[in-house]
């Protein structure tokens, strides 16, 4: 059983929504956020990355930043940029990119289902990143960015959603990056009840993206519960989410670049690689076409790497991931990257940037070697979460990204 609840969203007026909606706070640096908001007073980055309105000398984790975020959100509400629905609603949110669409249900998920593992995780979180969003959510008294959830698709849910999307949307705009965002309001209590009944038949929800935001939302809710009795219907027991069916999602490659060869020459490096991988120099870019294949850019040349039989356990859902095979057979033993979560010699490049970005980083001297990955599948993500296991860091890159600022869930 999966519980989703309607809520009274704060959302932008239709004419301002295209200006307000912004990419998630964690897909850009502070400098990039400052550049993005130039001449744009409506961008939700003024809330999600409130340091853009402070002097660059201010630490991005300073209390002043969280205070400014709350102030900016209040100003947007008070000035009429945001309106609030009069009664609890659900919403349908469709994103269309390169002719491919994914359509999800916007609602509030239960922090108890997260605690009881009915909302399943596949990544570890970092304390510093959690604390940042905890302070942000607590200061704003709101969930400002939705958690990206998925579930095994059901015909019953698809049918209800299809009926809703046949109607006129409240928002329908194409952002600067070419992604179209379309939103419908569900204010019919019967339809909401039907959706809740269908989701009650869904065994589990899975976090696709937003593990830190999810953990932070839960911890804010627990903090507000306190140690005594609490109102189980209070809004802080729920958090903002969008649930998409698994058969509509698209995971892109999440590639790796490493600053140096850990003291190896290019020739000795390739020799060591050949113990666990077949290695072939190729002309043109080496984009992996299937699992167990990797592209490597080194010394101005592309190579195709293929994991050799016996280099991994095919029965291990985590160990057989391409990201694990590369980590266990190359990054750790040869390049000395034992913990990619904390080692500053490795960086990760989302597939949306293209493999040309890997070439650029190596040719510029910013990195010594780059690896192009074959994407992890949604099926693999679910199997690992079902097994209670954890994926290596940076295993998945979802596109398109959900925009922040379209829906705000107030906690009181």
Structural domain includes residue 282:
yes
Place of tokens 């040719």: 363
DSSP, res 235: G
C-alpha closest to that of 5 among 205, 140, 169: 205
Other Cβ atoms within 10 Å of 18 Cβ, number: 17
Same domain for 264 and 181, yes or no, is no
Q: Are residues 200 and 313 in the same domain?
A: no
Q: In angstroms, rounded to a whole number, what is the distance separating the alpha carbons of residues 77 and 57?
A: 28
Contacts by 138-142 with C-beta closer than 8 Å and gap 24+? 138/66, 138/220, 138/223, 139/66, 139/67, 139/69, 139/70, 140/47, 140/66, 140/69, 140/70, 140/73, 141/70, 141/410, 141/411, 141/412, 142/10, 142/73, 142/408, 142/409, 142/410, 142/411
CATH number for the domain spanning 333: value is 3.30.1760
Same domain, 186 and 86: yes
Q: Which of 337, 334, 355 is nearest to 345 (CA)?
A: 337
Handedness of CA 356, 49, 97, 172 (dihedral sign): negative
Q: Is residue 389 part of a domain?
A: no
Asked if 7 and 107 touch (Cβ cutoff 8 Å), the reply is: yes
Task: List the one residue out of 288, 251, 246, 294 whose CA is nearest residue 396.
Answer: 251
- Tracing tokens 């729920």 back to the chain, one arrives at 238
Count how many domains the chain has: 2
pLDDT tens digits for the chain (412 residues)?
899 999 999 999 999 999 999 999 988 899 999 999 999 999 999 999 999 999 999 999 999 999 999 999 999 999 999 999 999 999 999 999 999 999 999 999 999 999 999 999 998 888 888 999 999 999 999 999 999 999 999 999 999 999 999 999 999 999 999 999 999 999 999 999 999 999 999 999 999 999 999 999 999 999 999 988 899 999 999 999 999 999 999 999 999 999 999 999 999 999 999 999 999 999 999 999 999 999 999 999 999 999 999 999 999 999 999 999 999 999 999 999 999 988 999 999 999 999 999 999 999 999 999 999 999 999 999 999 999 999 988 899 999 999 999 999 999 9
**45, 165: one domain:** yes
78 secondary structure, DSSP code: H
Q: Which residue in the block uniquely carries the two structure tokens 């039989």? A: 309
Same domain, 174 and 264: no
Contact 18, 24 (CB under 8 A): no
What's the alpha-carbon Rg for the chain, to the nearest Å? 22
Q: Residue 387: inside a domain, yes or no?
A: no
Q: Are residues 146 and 290 in the same domain?
A: no
Domain that holds residue 225: 4-251+399-410
Residues 87, 209, single domain; the answer is yes
Torsion of CA 51, 361, 378, 49, to 10 degrees: 0
Can you list the alpha helix ranges (DSSP code H) found in 245-349?
Answer: 266-273, 322-326
Domain match, 64 and 136 both:
yes
Please list the residues that pair with 22 across neighbouring strands.
404
- pTM > 0.85: yes
215 and 297 in one domain? no
Strand 238-245 vs strand 147-151: parallel, antiparallel, or unpaired? parallel
Is position 384 within any domain? no
The answer to the question of residue 83 being in a domain is: yes
| Co-location of 233 and 327 in the same domain | no
């Amino acid at each position: 059983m999966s519980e989703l609840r309607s809520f009274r969203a704060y959302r932008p007026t239709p004419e301002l929504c295209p200006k307000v909606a912004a990419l998630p706070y964690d897909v850009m640096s502070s400098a990039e956020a400052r550049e993005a908001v130039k001449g744009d007073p409506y961008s939700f980055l003024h809330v999600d990355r409130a340091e853009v309105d402070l002097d660059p000398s201010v630490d991005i984790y300073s209390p002043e930043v969280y205070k400014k975020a709350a102030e900016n959100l209040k100003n947007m509400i008070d000035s009429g940029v945001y309106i609030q629905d009069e009664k609890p609603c659900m919403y349908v949110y469709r994103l269309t990119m390169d002719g491919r669409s994914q359509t999800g249900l916007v609602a509030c998920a239960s922090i108890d289902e997260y605690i009881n593992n009915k909302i399943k995780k596949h990544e570890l979180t970092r304390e510093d990143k959690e604390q940042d969003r905890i302070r942000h959510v607590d200061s704003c008294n709101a969930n400002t960015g939705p958690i990206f959830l998925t579930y095994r698709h059901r015909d019953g849910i698809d049918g209800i959603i299809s009926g809703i999307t046949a109607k006129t949307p409240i928002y329908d705009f194409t952002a600067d990056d070419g992604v179209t965002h379309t939103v419908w309001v569900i204010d019919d209590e019967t339809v909401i009840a039907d959706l809740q009944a269908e989701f009650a038949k869904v065994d589990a929800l899975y976090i696709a993206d937003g593990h830190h935001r999810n953990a932070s939302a839960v911890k804010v809710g627990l903090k507000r519960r306190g140690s005594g009795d609490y109102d189980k219907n209070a809004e802080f027991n729920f958090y903002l989410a969008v649930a998409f069916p698994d058969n509509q999602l698209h995971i892109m490659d999440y590639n790796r670049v490493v600053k140096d060869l850990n003291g190896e020459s290019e020739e000795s490096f390739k020799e060591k690689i050949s113990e666990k991988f077949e290695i072939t120099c190729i002309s043109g870019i080496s984009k992996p076409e299937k699992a167990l294949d990797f592209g490597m850019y080194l010394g101005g040349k592309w190579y195709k790497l293929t994991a050799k039989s016996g280099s991994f356990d095919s029965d291990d859902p985590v160990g057989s991931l391409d990201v694990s095979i590369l980590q266990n057979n190359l990054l750790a033993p040869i390049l000395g990257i034992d913990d990619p979560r904390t080692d500053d010699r490795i960086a990760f490049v989302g597939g949306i940037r293209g493999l040309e970005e890997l070439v650029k980083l190596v040719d510029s001297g910013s990195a010594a070697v780059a690896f192009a990955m074959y994407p992890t599948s949604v099926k693999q993500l679910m199997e690992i979460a079902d097994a209670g296991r954890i994926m290596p860091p940076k295993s998945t890159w979802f596109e398109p990204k959900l925009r922040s600022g379209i829906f705000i869930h107030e906690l009181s």
